[in-house]
C-alpha cells in the first residue's frame, strides 16, 4: 500500500485513474513473473511522464515481490488489513472535527468513543477464513499449534 501511495503521490489528477489501473495490474498479478511483465507495461506507459514512479517500483522490486510468495487469499489479507492505520484513521475521524478540546479528559473521551465504534467491526469474520487458515497452517506449520 505504501508503494502505491508513494508512486501515485505526484501524478496529476487527469492521469490518476489510468495510472492507478496500471499499478493495480502489477500488485494483482497472480505471480511474480506476470507482475514483472505488468511492471514493464507500466514502465512503457508512464516512464516518460512519471519516471520517479517507475524508478520507485524498480528500486523496491525485491522487497515488493515477497508479497507474491503467499497465496492470493493471504495476499488480500496482507494488503487490506493494516489495523494500525485503520485504527488511527478512525481516531482521527472522531477528533479532527473538533477545533479544540477544553481539557485532556475531553480528548480521552473522544478517543474512547472512537475505539468503541471501531471494536464493533472486529467481530466480523474474514471471508473464506477456513481456506485461508489451512493455507497458514501449510505455510507456517511449525509456528501454528492447533
Note the pLDDT tens digit of each residue in 79-126.
Answer: 665 667 778 888 888 888 777 788 889 889 888 988 888 887 777 777
Tell me what pLDDT residue 1 has.
66
SS3 103: coil
23-27, 69-73, 84-88: which has the minimum mean pLDDT?
A: 84-88
d(Cα 55, Cα 43) in Å, to the nearest integer?
9
Distance CA(140)–CA(133), nearest Å, equals 10
- What does the mean pLDDT of the chain come to? 85
Q: How far apart are CA 144 and CA 122, in angstroms?
A: 22
- More confident of the two residues 95 and 34: 34
Question: Are 56 and 46 a contacting pair, CB within 8 Å?
Answer: no
List the grid coordinates of 124. Answer: 466480523
What pLDDT does 67 receive?
82
Tell me the pTM: 0.63
Query: What's the burial of 53, exposed, middle or buried (CB within 10 Å: 0-12/13-18/19+)?
Result: buried
Per-residue pLDDT at 80: 60
How far is it, in rounded angstroms, from Cα 81 to Cα 71? 15
Quickly state the pLDDT bin for 38 (edges 50, 70, 90): very high
> What's the pLDDT score for residue 19?
92
Assign 29 to helix, strand or coil: coil
Q: What is the pLDDT of residue 85?
A: 77
| For residues 64-68, average pLDDT | 85
Looking at residue 76, its pLDDT comes to: 75
Q: How far apart are CA 96 and CA 88, in angstroms?
A: 12
Q: What pLDDT score does 18 carry?
A: 93
pLDDT of 9: 84
Amino acid at each position: 500500500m505504501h508503494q502505491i501511495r508513494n508512486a501515485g503521490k505526484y501524478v496529476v489528477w487527469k492521469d490518476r485513474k489510468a495510472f492507478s489501473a496500471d499499478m493495480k495490474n502489477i500488485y494483482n498479478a497472480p505471480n511474480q513473473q506476470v507482475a514483472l511483465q505488468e511492471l514493464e507495461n507500466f514502465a512503457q506507459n508512464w516512464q516518460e511522464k512519471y519516471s520517479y514512479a517507475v524508478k520507485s517500483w524498480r528500486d523496491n522490486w525485491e522487497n515488493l515481490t515477497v508479497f507474491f510468495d503467499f497465496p492470493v487469499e493471504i495476499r488480500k489479507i496482507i494488503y487490506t488489513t493494516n489495523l494500525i492505520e485503520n485504527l488511527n484513521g478512525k481516531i482521527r475521524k472522531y477528533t479532527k472535527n473538533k477545533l479544540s478540546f477544553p481539557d485532556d479528559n475531553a480528548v480521552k473521551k473522544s478517543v474512547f468513543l472512537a475505539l468503541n465504534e471501531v471494536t464493533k467491526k472486529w467481530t466480523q469474520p474474514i471471508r473464506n477464513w477456513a481456506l485461508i487458515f489451512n493455507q497458514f497452517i501449510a505455510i507456517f506449520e511449525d509456528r501454528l499449534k492447533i
